[in-house]
């Protein structure tokens, strides 16, 4: 009997260890918006568009962990990096420290005549020193190939080996139309600004250019879901995670916030969360959560209403300030769970 027990334990250790080691050895990188060195404002969309493409490509590599764009944006806003033009190494390292990255990728793009150039610098967060650089030159029509080159150079700089399956996914093009890609990137920028009508227009244009552009169709579905409830939600976000992961993360966030899930319906993506604190001047809060299931992303909407007062069976006067504080507490817990490594 003892031999059997020891054998089982040994098998478990051997099975689990490689996965744990792979997770611990993952390279954590952050990619900041690329700087437009060209005076042509019509190219400004590439600042975010290039980041979106590189993030999507590198996310297919299991030994790399990409810092969430929403989390990185918050860090950049805090140190006002977005207003500085070219990002210096010290600021890049500071942003990297804030989000737990080991390497920060900064870059720029420039068009001179028919020549289009992408450049990138890789800053080691621990030292604030540029560890390597990359450059890809071609024409504007070669944009997708130039982005592939920069992605390859990032992997090479990190010393990351890529499997054939990962490589196939990396080089898979979501669209072959630069114009569709431009409209899609502009739509994503409008989503960040919560300008959903403008975002819908851009995604519609992207799909007109390329009806098979799956990412544009996915984000159009998010916008169509978000628009009707934009004014009644205290939290409405596009999440770069699939539905199942987002739903489980929200459940963990509720527990972290010290709240209670009273009614969760995963098939519909809804849950009701209760904060039980109550007094004559503070009503308990019932928080309503909707999580939208999309193909590769998800949407999260949070809103609230006052609970019935115990024993009396009536609702207190709605306390907007208290409701907002309760939801902010849940949001903080959700984003902590969402972005923790």
Q: Which two tokens stand for residue 59?
A: 């996310």
Model pLDDT for residues 38-88, shown as the tens digit of each residue: 878 899 999 889 998 999 899 889 899 888 877 888 788 777 654 445 567
Residues 41 and 117 placed together within one structural domain of the fold: yes
**Chain centre to alpha carbon of residue 55:** 9
The torsion defined by the Cα of 286, 227, 291 and 62, in degrees rounded to 10, comes to -140
**pLDDT one-digit tens code per residue, 101-146:** 999 999 999 999 999 999 999 999 999 999 999 999 999 999 999 9
- Read off the CATH number of the domain in which 131 is found: 3.40.50.10070
Q: Under 8 Å CB-to-CB from 133, ≥6 apart: which residues? A: 119, 120, 121, 122
The boundaries of the domain holding residue 148 are 22-165
Is residue 27 domain-shared with residue 138, that is, in the same domain? yes
pTM: 0.77
Q: Could you tell me if 104 and 84 are in contact, meaning their C-beta atoms sit under 8 angstroms apart?
A: no
Alpha carbon distance 120, 34 (integer Å): 8
Q: Are residues 146 and 197 in the same domain?
A: no
One domain for residues 50 and 159: yes
141 and 269 belong to one structural domain? no
What is the C-alpha separation between 269 and 224, in angstroms, rounded?
Answer: 16
Domain count, the chain: 3
| Together in a domain, 189 and 158 | no
């Amino acid at each position: 009997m003892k031999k059997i027990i020891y054998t089982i334990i040994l098998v478990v250790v051997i099975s689990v260890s490689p996965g744990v080691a792979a997770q611990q050895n993952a390279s954590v990188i952050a990619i900041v918006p690329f700087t437009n060195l060209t005076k042509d404002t019509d190219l400004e969309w590439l600042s975010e568009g290039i980041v979106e493409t590189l993030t999507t490509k590198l996310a297919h590599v299991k030994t790399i962990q990409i810092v969430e764009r929403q989390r990185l944006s918050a860090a950049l806003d805090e140190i006002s990096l977005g207003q500085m033009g070219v990002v210096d190494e010290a600021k890049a390292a500071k942003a990297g420290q804030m989000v737990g990255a080991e390497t920060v990728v900064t870059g720029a793009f420039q068009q001179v005549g028919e020549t289009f150039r992408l450049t990138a610098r890789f800053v080691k967060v621990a030292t604030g020193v540029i560890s390597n650089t990359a450059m890809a030159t071609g024409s504007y029509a070669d944009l997708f190939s130039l982005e592939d080159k920069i992605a390859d150079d990032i992997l090479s700089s990190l010393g990351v080996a890529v499997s054939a399956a990962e490589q196939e996914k990396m080089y898979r093009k979501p669209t072959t139309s630069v114009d569709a890609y431009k409209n899609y990137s502009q739509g994503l920028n409008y989503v960040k600004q919560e300008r959903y009508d403008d975002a819908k227009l851009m995604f519609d244009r992207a799909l007109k250019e390329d009806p098979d552009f799956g990412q544009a169709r996915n984000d159009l579905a998010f916008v169509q879901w978000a628009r009707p409830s934009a004014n009644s939600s205290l939290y409405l976000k596009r999440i770069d995670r699939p539905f199942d992961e987002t739903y489980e993360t929200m459940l963990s966030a509720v527990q972290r916030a010290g709240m209670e899930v009273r009614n969760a319906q995963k098939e519909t993506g809804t849950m009701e969360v209760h904060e039980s604190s109550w007094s004559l001047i503070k009503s308990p809060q019932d928080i309503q959560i909707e999580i939208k299931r999309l193909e590769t992303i998800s949407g999260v909407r949070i809103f609230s209403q006052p609970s019935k007062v115990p024993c009396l069976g009536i609702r207190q006067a709605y306390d907007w300030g208290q409701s907002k504080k309760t939801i902010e507490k849940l949001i903080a817990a959700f984003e902590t769970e969402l972005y923790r490594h």
